[in-house]
Amino acid sequence: MKIRLDKYLADSGFGTRSEVKLLVKSGSISLNGNVVKDSGIKIDTENDEILVRGKRVGYSEYEYYMLHKPAGIITASRDKNEKTVIDLIKSKKRRDLFPVGRLDRDTEGLLLITNDGDLSHHLLSPSKHVSKTYLAFVTGEPSEDIYTHFKEGIDIGDDTLTKPAELRRFASVSDVLNIYNDKVLEDRLSEYNDVYIFEITITEGRYHEIKRMFEAEGCEVVYLKRYSMGSLILDFNLAPGEYRLLTDTELSSLKNKE
């Protein structure tokens, strides 16, 4: 791919377009061994060697990170006052990363961070019905019909009922931990007493959807964690706030099979 030098440097995290223009003017950049001062020069991203102050720059057109979102951080690309999920990705090269979908401030768990708009659209498009699975700790006794209600769709005050959701209840803490081998979950379980533990799979992403679904059933979600989005599953080795690049297998499954 051929792009301008200033775009190449800005995309690679060396500053805004005007900042990198100054950097180029200062003589800090070399292209295939020769200093360049023209920031409009076209770069072949695969074959040219760019050095910034003698250090090689690698170009990534796209980046894909799995983040274990901690509670207390907002799902936004940038914010004037608050730390966002993008601020947690310290090793990012691209400046145009965004979160795919939204988790509430108090929700933990899997969040995909990328700058790939096509993939994001594909995963979030309502017509694709990509499944998202969560664990919810719930207070207030759920009715026996809750499973049917979730399957048939719930009136949460929108124009249409929610799309069918799969719900299952874990009878005991050890049942949950057998399936979700997640150290964080053990801590969370010890923080909450007398909660009902549900696994819920939805295919939409309405605002506060799960909380509103339980609320419509007279219950309250006191803790929510996302474990999967399509074929992508939260890596239990990541502590809240940690992230890693997606593996090639994870990425190709997300792109091909959803």
Binding site for ligand URA (CB under 6 A): 103-104, 107, 208-211, 224
Q: How far is the CB of 208 from ligand URA (least distance, A)?
A: 4
CA–CA dist 248, 100 (Å, integer): 18
Q: How far is the CB of 149 from ligand URA (least distance, A)?
A: 16
Question: Would you say 93 or 208 has its CB closer to ligand URA?
Answer: 208
Nearer to ligand URA among residue 223 and residue 243 (C-beta): 223
Q: Would you please indicate which residues are annotated as catalytic (active-site) residues?
A: 104
Closest CB 69 distance from ligand URA, rounded Å: 9
* Of 132, 164, 124, the residue nearest 228 (C-alpha): 132
Nearer to ligand URA, 224 or 254 (CB): 224
In the complex, minimum distance from the CB of residue 80 to ligand URA, in angstroms, rounded to a whole number: 22
Question: Can you state the angle between helices 117-124 and 248-257, rounded to 10 degrees?
Answer: 60
CB of 210 to ligand URA, least distance (A): 4
Of 10 and 109, CB closest to ligand URA: 109
Q: Which residue has the tokens 């049917």?
A: 148
Per-residue buried b or exposed e for 84-98, using 16+ beta carbons within 10 Å of the residue's own CB = bbbebbeebbbbebb
Which CB, 119 or 224, lies closer to ligand URA? 224
User: Is-contact 204 126, C-beta < 8 A?
Assistant: yes
